[in-house]
Structure 1
Amino acid sequence: MKYTPAFAFTLTALAPIYAHAASVYSGCAVPALKSTHHTFYVDPVNGSLSGDGSASKPWSTLADVVNPANKLISTQGHAGSKFNAGTDTALHPANPTAPIKAGDLILLKSGNHGSPTVTNMYNSDFITVAAAPGATPVVDKMAIISSGKWMFQGLKFQGLATTATGAKTASPSPLSLVTAGRGDWEGLTTDIVFSDNSFSAADSTSGWNSYDWINKPFSIGLWAAVSCVSTVDNHFYNLLNAAYVSAGKNLFQGNLIEAFSNDGLDIQGSDLLIKGNTIKGGVNSAADPYHADGIQGWSAISNGVAATNSNVVIDGNILTKTGSGATSYMQGISIFDGKWTGLVIQNNVVNVDTWHGIAVFGAQNSRIINNTVIASDPAAQPSWITVQNAKDGTVSSGVVVRNNIATQYVVQDSNTTFDHNIAALKITIPVSGKSTVFTSGTVGTANAVLPTVLAGFMTLNTTAGSFDERLRSSSPAIGFGSPSAAPALDILGKARTAPVDAGAYVH
């Protein structure tokens, strides 16, 4: 991908990696192309449904290939009304003599492949849909409903929710550009993989006004609304909300998210791994002035009761404000709403221009450990790591805050274990039941306010927005931490050994 300040992007050819197994959440099915697979070709420019799917006689579009009426895919499905009624929950063969079978590879040539909908297609092994070598296949919009074991690689998902320009409203479409969702009529979707794709509303936003950022993109770039969706090494850009993970056992790893006007990634559910993503360049729109978040989490609500999210790990992500002024406003990792237990936030680097670098409200038995949170504008908005009570008054309990480096800390309740942290400006913690601010020296259990920690980074130019928070040999963070519960590896995968350094990086 190529990034320019005007938010214009070019999708470059992706190297064929069809034979490699993609990463998935533990316990989910792993795609791996077998040597016995068959390869089929789809070409919107030169193909036809009258072809046989060979390289010389390709089919027309992906939308045509997955259309059940064309009977090109041998798969399995539920029996609609009987499944819905609970009288027949078995999978039944569909189109057993069709040419495309479980384990096969579908290569897409350049051109527009329409708006495919994959419905009631449960494969016994993964069918891989990938860009042909050197090709840029474009998909306008896609839904995967009541289906299983599909993998998408190297595709360009790009489409607009509306083409209207300059509309003076701020009512985003509730729809998503790409959806992996459930269908109550025919069953849950599971085991879907998105790898090395791009998701965008347009290549360039030149000429967009603040309302266009709200109205033109779909509300969500990718909505993973079911379990066992793996989203790995994709590029999200020029979107409203880039991605939304709202079900358990999901992996969201190694993705680049930039040029989004609301949230980078929204999460909801249990058993999630959010790892190694880069989120930068929020475009805060005056048409939707509410805070934009790099990563935000909340709970599903049923009959007025919030579900508890458990075993969520946010590890090794980089969240960085780019640009200057209010138009690039972005919060870091915000866990304001809902119920959370077993939440782990570790090895993250956060550089934003708002109060909330890492904010956790009302969590239970959770850890915030070995993160680096430095304000991009410390004088105006000294970003913090904060642990506070939930909006409904639920007290955070059993939360450990350890081995972090931050501009400042605010800890509301004495139930929080707070040790071996470094602040550049100040620490606010309860002392004898009273919130107390410390601006220098040792604080509590092996914490300290050390302004010199800022000079201990390789690069810290808040004016230019240039950050490299690896540690210099002179950094006071070296050896400052505790080995207790510290992650074994740092953000770069380097072993973390005693004496443990504070922050996301091992010196």
Structure 2
Amino acid sequence: MNKLIFTVFFLLISNLSTANVFYVDPVLGLVDGDGSESRPWKSLQKLFDGDYIDSYKWSIPYSDSSYLIRRGIEAPIRGGDRIVLKDGYYGSLKIRGFTNRFPITIISENRHGARFSNIDISASSNWIVDGVSISSTVSDGAVRGLFLVEDHRFHGPSNNITLKSSKLFSIQDSSTWTAADWRNEAISGVVSYSDYTKILNNHVFNIKRGVLLAGDYSTVKSNRISFFSRDGIQTIGDFNDFISNYVSDSIKVDGNHADLFQSWSVGKGGKVGSGTVYNNRVIGNYFIAQTDLNSPLSGYVQGIGCFDGFYENWVVENNLIVVSNWNGIAFYGLNNSRVSNNTVVDVWNDTVGPAQIRIFPHKNSLAGKGNELYNNFSYKLVILPDSGVVASGNNINQFSLSSHFKDPLVFDFSLKSSSSAINNGSSSSSVRIDILGNSRDESIDVGAYEYIVD
């Protein structure tokens, strides 16, 4: 991806003209409509297949010397405009070769009223998809992901794609699905291989994997991800933020060791565990193994599982992790990173656990260095030699959760006034707010929650 060409292109753009609003209605729209609310277009895909959008595409075949070519010079839709979708079914949407000067927003007029089977975006930039519903299964023909963003080897890169306030699922109600149904029909939710992707405030449920980020400089924030048969969130990219998400309810359908959050490095030749994943932040998330304790397919899911480093300059702080597994937080090959003020607990006390924080050298026995472990609440810290860890202010060997937290069985891990976690954190920590956004005072509490007087 030639990011320099892309950046220079946008710096040279003239001022944004007045934004326009256009309408699409798959039920009452007109084949010869003009995009007005009284004469809406009937097909959204037609706007991309025809000459309706003033945008740019890369010269092909894409290479470092490729340049942007204007398309649709006289087209009505331009950067900054909004395409409002009336309620109805839009099927599969494919966007390829539309690099906008400024973002164009595709928005459902009524939240989740515009329904898609899948949305695939490649070789495109500056698109916002807002408030839609995306749903299909393998039998419906979808394979790679309900919302897919990728660079294209021939047509060029994608970046600055946003999905917000949308609903993604394989099936609305999975209560009757068997393990075989999950294996054969579940589709991944969001899959992005491109940079500067934003996944914001979406509900992703009844899926294979929730969110996969393979690109860099992206944000996954304030999403609800639940009932998944692989991993909740996966990343192999760098400089990504995972903030304030609620990830829960792993579904056990085979021998896969699922994680609520997982990352791994990829080195030369695509070899796993032979590279480095840089500068990711995992902050203020709720990672809950199960909320539906009666589910016949609930399984032993791991919390934050990072087993194939190296991992460099990571921040993992203010997360609540509730799992019945040793690997509450696990890093194999961690460098120059901070793991602070996390609450890592097990409310079920099953045999595969209780939850721990585990920092190990790389699987190839290479030593870690420069790591800080401050003010975490956990049953146990397992820090092997050569892990490069300085630890302080951690509250461990805790079995009686009810003596510390208000109501663990309903996942309320705010602190009781009697908890020894209060005011016992290390001042070495730089964490100044808690998982709820409350300010921490000078006497820092241990774990994700700062004690607030009722």
- 2:192, 2:250 → 1: CA distance? 21
| Superposed counterparts of 1:100-139, under 5 Å | 100-133=77-110, 136-139=113-116
Is contact 2:260–2:289 with CA below 8 Å preserved after alignment? no
Determine helix, strand or coil for the equivalent of 1:279: strand
Structure 2: gaps spanning 5 or more residues: 1-9, 11-15
**Aligned residue for 2:5?**
none
CA-to-aligned-CA distance 1:111-138 (integer Å, 9 cap, x gap): 1112111111000000000011366111
Structure 1 length normalisation: TM-score?
Answer: 0.81
Is contact 2:112–2:167 with CA below 8 Å preserved after alignment? no
- The worse-fitting range, judged by mean Cα deviation, of 406-415 and 313-322 is 406-415
- 2:384, 2:359 → 1: CA distance? 6
Does structure 1 residue 475 correspond to structure 2 residue 419?
Answer: yes
Does structure 1 residue 71 correspond to structure 2 residue 48?
Answer: no
**Aligned residue for 1:337?**
308
Is contact 1:424–1:453 with CA below 8 Å preserved after alignment? no
Determine helix, strand or coil for the equivalent of 1:47: coil
- 2:281, 2:21 → 1: CA distance? 37
**Aligned residue for 1:424?**
397
- The worse-fitting range, judged by mean Cα deviation, of 328-337 and 99-108 is 328-337
| Superposed counterparts of 1:19-418, under 5 Å | 36-67=18-49, 70-81=50-61, 83-84=62-63, 86-87=64-65, 89-133=66-110, 136-162=113-139, 175-218=144-187, 220-285=188-253, 288-303=254-269, 306-322=274-290, 323-324=292-293, 327-329=297-299, 330-380=301-351, 381-413=353-385, 415-418=388-391
CA-to-aligned-CA distance 1:15-39 (integer Å, 9 cap, x gap): xxxxxxxxxxxxxx9xxxx892111
- The worse-fitting range, judged by mean Cα deviation, of 48-57 and 91-100 is 48-57
- 2:54, 2:425 → 1: CA distance? 57
AA of the residue aligned to 2:257 = H
**Aligned residue for 2:446?**
502
Determine helix, strand or coil for the equivalent of 1:65: helix
Is contact 2:112–2:133 with CA below 8 Å preserved after alignment? no
RMSD: 1.9
- 2:44, 2:397 → 1: CA distance? 54
- 1:44, 1:243 → 2: CA distance? 29
Change (3 A) 1:135 1:395: closer
Is contact 2:286–2:319 with CA below 8 Å preserved after alignment? yes
Is contact 2:375–2:429 with CA below 8 Å preserved after alignment? no
AA of the residue aligned to 2:41 = W
Determine helix, strand or coil for the equivalent of 1:80: coil
- 1:304, 1:66 → 2: CA distance? 34
- 2:31, 2:397 → 1: CA distance? 65
Deviation at 1:207, TM superposition (A): 2.8
Determine helix, strand or coil for the equivalent of 2:408: strand
Structure 2 length normalisation: TM-score?
Answer: 0.90
Change (3 A) 1:180 1:458: same
Change (3 A) 1:152 1:377: same
AA of the residue aligned to 2:37 = A
AA of the residue aligned to 1:131 = S
- 1:304, 1:201 → 2: CA distance? 30
- 1:332, 1:129 → 2: CA distance? 35
AA of the residue aligned to 2:280 = V
Determine helix, strand or coil for the equivalent of 1:162: helix
Deviation at 1:98, TM superposition (A): 0.8
- 1:134, 1:229 → 2: CA distance? 21
Deviation at 1:163, TM superposition (A): 5.2
CA-to-aligned-CA distance 1:181-230 (integer Å, 9 cap, x gap): 00111211011111101111111124321011122122x21111111001
Identity of aligned residues (%): 28
Is contact 2:112–2:166 with CA below 8 Å preserved after alignment? no
Is contact 2:401–2:408 with CA below 8 Å preserved after alignment? no
Is contact 1:221–1:239 with CA below 8 Å preserved after alignment? yes
Determine helix, strand or coil for the equivalent of 2:403: helix
- 2:75, 2:38 → 1: CA distance? 19
- 2:90, 2:163 → 1: CA distance? 17
- 2:414, 2:362 → 1: CA distance? 33
Is contact 1:232–1:254 with CA below 8 Å preserved after alignment? yes
CA-to-aligned-CA distance 1:421-450 (integer Å, 9 cap, x gap): 11134xxxxxxxxxxxxxxxxxxxxxxxxx
- 1:42, 1:71 → 2: CA distance? 16
Determine helix, strand or coil for the equivalent of 1:126: strand
CA-to-aligned-CA distance 1:385-421 (integer Å, 9 cap, x gap): 1101222222222221110001222111263112211
- 1:257, 1:112 → 2: CA distance? 24
Deviation at 1:269, TM superposition (A): 1.4
Deviation at 1:473, TM superposition (A): 1.1
- 2:45, 2:29 → 1: CA distance? 13
Determine helix, strand or coil for the equivalent of 2:180: helix
Change (3 A) 1:365 1:72: same
Deviation at 1:326, TM superposition (A): 7.1
Change (3 A) 1:183 1:257: same
Change (3 A) 1:193 1:353: same
- 1:205, 1:326 → 2: CA distance? 12
Is contact 2:87–2:110 with CA below 8 Å preserved after alignment? no
Of residues 420, 424, 434 in structure 2, which corresponds to 1:490?
A: 434
Deviation at 1:47, TM superposition (A): 1.2
**Aligned residue for 1:460?**
408
AA of the residue aligned to 1:197 = S
